[in-house]
Structures are given as structure tokens and as C-alpha cells.
Amino acid sequence: MASCHSLILLDGTIQGDPLDLKMFESTAWSPVEAIAILRQFPFSSSLQRMSVIAQLAGEHHFRAYMKGAPEMVARFCRPETVPKNFPQELRNYTVQGFRVIALAHKVLKMGKLSDVQRLAR
């Protein structure tokens, strides 16, 4: 979540997409500058998701972060990591009019930046 967003820190104030702002307000997040975004796959309405490949300062591995429509993000997750009641919970929130966004994270088994640069969406 710390890298899969459109927020910026401008004059000490976090600014950007209202949905991203709400997402971070709810987690009491503070900006982290030690994350390098190596690849970005912008939001696509047809795919209903966006993702980034990032590297934390001092780490030698890469991380993928994704956010998007819960049904789409869940397709990329290992089944055992998605709660059994996921469809019911999602339905509970959406019938109440909430906009629901899912987040996912994965440590990538790649050792070289050139491998990351060749990744397809």
C-alpha cells in the first residue's frame, strides 16, 4: 500500500486522489521515502487494477503491490489467503453503497533489475 497510490507530499501536506487519501487516513500512514518504484502499471479500467514493482531501501529483493476491484485482485491471490466469506463480506459492503478496494502484496523471486524491467502486466 505504501507504494501503490498517487499521493504526494507537498509542503508538508499529503495530496492526491481522494480515495487514496481516505485509504491512508484509515491506516494512520505517514510518507516513506525509502521505497523505489521500479515499474508502474497504471490503473486500467478494463483490468480494474493497478500495480507497481518496488524495492525498499536496503533490501535486495523486489515486491509487487496491487490494488483494484476486489474480485479482480482476489484472482491473483493464493486461495488460502482469501477469506472463505470473501464474497459475502464484499456483498455486505457494496449493498451499503461503500466503494471497496482490495490490496495485495508479493515478494518476487527475481534477483536482477533487468528481470523486473522485462515483466509484462
50 grid coordinates: 493497478
Predicted structure pTM score: 0.70
Mean pLDDT of the chain: 81
What's 61's domain CATH number?
3.40.1110.10
pLDDT tens for 64-115 read 899 999 999 999 999 999 999 999 999 999 999 998 999 999 998 877 676 6
pLDDT of residue 77: 95
Place of cell 510518507: 31
Distance separating alpha carbons of residues 108 and 99, to the nearest angstrom: 29
Whether residue 2 is contained in a domain is answered as no
Q: What is the domain range of residue 19? A: 8-117
Is 28 part of any domain? Answer: yes
Cβ atoms of 79 and 1 closer than 8 Å: no
> Nearest-CA neighbor of 20 among 36, 9, 11, 12?
9
Number of neighbouring beta carbons within 10 Å of residue 88: 9
* Local confidence band at 54 (pLDDT 50, 70, 90 cut-offs): confident
Number of domains in the chain: 1
Is 1 part of a structural domain of the chain?
Answer: no
